[in-house]
Amino acid sequence: MAPPAPLVRTARSLWHWQWQQLMGGLGPADAEGNYRRPDGAFSVLPPLPDEAAAADGHVLIVGRSCPWAHRAWLVWSLRGLGASISLVVVDPDPAEGRWRFAEAFEGCHTLIELYRRSGADAGQRATVPALYSRRERRILVGESARLIELLNRWPSPDAPNLEPAPQQEATDQWRDRLQSSVNDGVYRCGFARTQAAYDRAEAALFEALGDADRALARAPWLSGPQLSLADVVLFPTLIRLELVYAPLFGCSRLPLWQLPALWRWRQRFHALPGVAATCWPEAWRRDYFGALFPLHPSGIVPAGPPLATLVEGPPALGGPGETQPMPDPGNNDG
C-alpha cells in the first residue's frame, strides 16, 4: 500500500531541506543556485626551482579519482618527469572527508596535515594535486591550472612542449573555456541547486563539446597540429563522462560517439604513452558514487561500461564515423 499523500509531501519537503543543507557542505552556490568552486591554497604559480632537475627532489601528490589531479598526473607522465619528481597517490577517506596517505609522508598521515604544516590557513581545503619540495619541506603549488604550467617548464631531456608557441593563443582560449564550461561545467550540472542553474550549466557544457568536436574535425589536437595543455585539461573530464558524469551529474544529453571527432580524439589521447596508467575507472566510480552522499544517498555503485569500450575501436551502435546532428544546447528536450 502506498503511503498517504500528506506523509509523502512532508517527507519530500524535509528531504529537500536536508538535501540543501548537505549540498551546502558539498559545494557552495550563489543566490541563483549556480555552483561556485571555492578557492584553494597555494594557487600562485611559483618560479621554477633552482634544483628542479635534482633526482627525487620534489613529489607530485595526486588522487586517482580527482580530475584536477589527473591533469597534473598526465603532464608528469607525458613529459617523463619521474626522475626528478616522485609520485605519491593519496586515498579518499569519505568518513572524514579528507585525503589520507597510505603510509606516513614527511611525518603526516593526511593531506590536511601537510597543508597546515606548509602554511595553509585553517579554513582552506586540502586538495590534490599538490607539488611538494623535499628541500623546502613545503607545498609549492596546489592549483592544478598553475601546476601543469610549471610541470610543462620542468627540465626533462627530450620532453614535449605542451605549450607550442604557434598555438599559444588558441591553447589559452580553449583552456579558459574548458575550465568554465566543461571541467567545472560537469560539477555545475551535478551540484546545481535549481533547475534553471542546471539548464544553464548543461547547455554551456554541450555547446563547448560541440565546438570542440568541430575544432577536432579540422586538426588532430584541440588548438592545432601539436598536443597541448588544452588537450590535457579536456581529457580527464571526457574520459569520465559515460562512467561518472552522465549517470551521476546528469550530463547525458547525448553519447560522446555522436560527436565523432571528439570520440576519436579521446581514443587517440588514451593511446599516448603513459596515459592508460593514469586511468583508474573502478576508483573513479567507487569514489564518486560512494562518497557524494547528497547526490547518491544509497552509496550503491552502479554498473558501467568497461573503459576499453570507450577507448578501443568504434562503439557497438552507430559509430564515430557517422556524423550525428548536434542538439540545440538551449533545448533540454534533447
pLDDT tens, residue by residue, 156-197: 999 999 999 999 999 999 999 999 999 999 999 999 999 999
| pLDDT value of residue 324 | 40
Which residues on adjacent β-strands are paired with residue 61? 88, 130
Q: Which residue has the higher pLDDT, 331 or 127?
A: 127
CATH 3.40.30.10 is held by the domain 58-152: yes
Backbone angles phi, psi at 297, to 5 degrees: -60, -30
The pLDDT of residue 10 is above 80: no
pLDDT band per the 50, 70, 90 thresholds, residue 32: confident
The pLDDT of residue 13 is above 60: no
In which residue ranges of the chain is CATH 1.20.1050.10 found?
165-311
pLDDT averaged over every residue in the chain: 88
Backbone angles phi, psi at 102, to 5 degrees: -65, -35
In which residue ranges of the chain is CATH 3.40.30.10 found?
58-152
The pLDDT of residue 141 is above 80: yes
Q: Are 133 and 119 in contact (CB under 8 A)?
A: no
Q: Are strands 58-63 and 138-141 parallel, antiparallel or unpaired?
A: unpaired
Query: pTM for this one?
Result: 0.88
Report which of 155, 100, 128, 162 is spatially closest to residue 41, judged by C-alpha positions: 128
| pLDDT value of residue 132 | 98
First to last CA, the chain: 36
Distances in Å between the Cα of 2 and the Cα atoms of 8, 25, 237, 244, 319 are 9, 33, 41, 32, 44
Tallying the residues shown for the chain, one arrives at 334
Q: Which residue has the higher pLDDT, 141 or 8?
A: 141
pLDDT band per the 50, 70, 90 thresholds, residue 321: very low
The CATH classification of domain 165-311, taken from the options 1.20.1050.10, 3.40.190.290, 3.30.70.1530, 3.30.530.20: 1.20.1050.10
Q: 33: which DSSP letter?
A: S
Q: Are 98 and 63 in contact (CB under 8 A)?
A: no
pLDDT band per the 50, 70, 90 thresholds, residue 29: confident
Cα three-residue angle 7-13-17, rounded to 5 degrees: 145
Report which of 118, 171, 115 is spatially closest to residue 148, judged by C-alpha positions: 171
